[in-house]
Amino acid sequence: MDTERAFYIGRFQPYHLGHHIVIEELSSEIDELVIGVGSAQRSHTITDPFTAGERVVMISKALSGLGIPFYVIPIEDVEYNSLWTAHVRARVPSFSVVYSNNSLVARLFEVAGVEVRALPLFRRDVYSGSEIRRRMLSGENWEELVPECVSQLIHEIDGVGRIQKVAQTDTQAP
């Protein structure tokens, strides 16, 4: 039987337990997984604080015990949505199915003729990048929303200090 390789993309700002639970669940349905780190060109802003390299490390460490082969590949955005799936295809190992809840991602791959499967959402009210970044800014507990190795990495790079500094700069800008 052919290997079923799937594609899953996110911004992972940061990688959190919602992403993690989904990936662990779908790993029982597929043979290999390609994880695209989207908006790879973005970092050091309130909405996108972490670099592509930092996000690759978060994901790779958190999934070290996944049990199926996986590839974590940064993908820059492109201006033309209509060209995006070809841009993705040119950068990653071939895949036959896409898992996504993002309606734009799903639509673009469907138009390109790729099978798209939806995923369950887990505690979306708190397992969410924007909620985690909000908590980082306000000094609340965010660590409980990410895998332990991700919170360790964010502490090592002073990710909270970074997002707080960027927020000050943004507030002071005219």
Sites of contact with ligand NAD (CB under 6 A)? 9-12, 18-19, 22, 38-39, 77-78, 81, 84, 100-102, 104-105, 108, 119, 121-124, 127-129
The residues near 138 (Cβ < 8 Å, ≥ 6 apart) are: none
153: left (phi over 0), alpha (psi -120 to 50) or beta: alpha
Using CA atoms, how far apart are residues 171 and 174, in angstroms rounded to an integer?
A: 8
Q: How far is the CB of 105 from ligand NAD (least distance, A)?
A: 5
39 or 151: CB nearest ligand NAD: 39
Q: How far is the CB of 161 from ligand NAD (least distance, A)?
A: 22
145 or 166: CB nearest ligand NAD: 145
19 or 133: CB nearest ligand NAD: 19
101 or 164: CB nearest ligand NAD: 101
3 or 102: CB nearest ligand NAD: 102
* Residue labelled with tokens 């337990």: 17
Q: How far is the CB of 172 from ligand NAD (least distance, A)?
A: 27
Q: How far is the CB of 174 from ligand NAD (least distance, A)?
A: 28
**Do 104 and 98 meet the contact criterion of CB atoms below 8 Å apart?**
no
* Residue labelled with tokens 């609340």: 140
Q: How far is the CB of 28 from ligand NAD (least distance, A)?
A: 16
Task: Name beta bridge partners: 10.
Answer: 37
Task: Name beta bridge partners: 116.
Answer: 98
| Closest listed residue to residue 66, CA positions, set 30, 100, 94 | 30
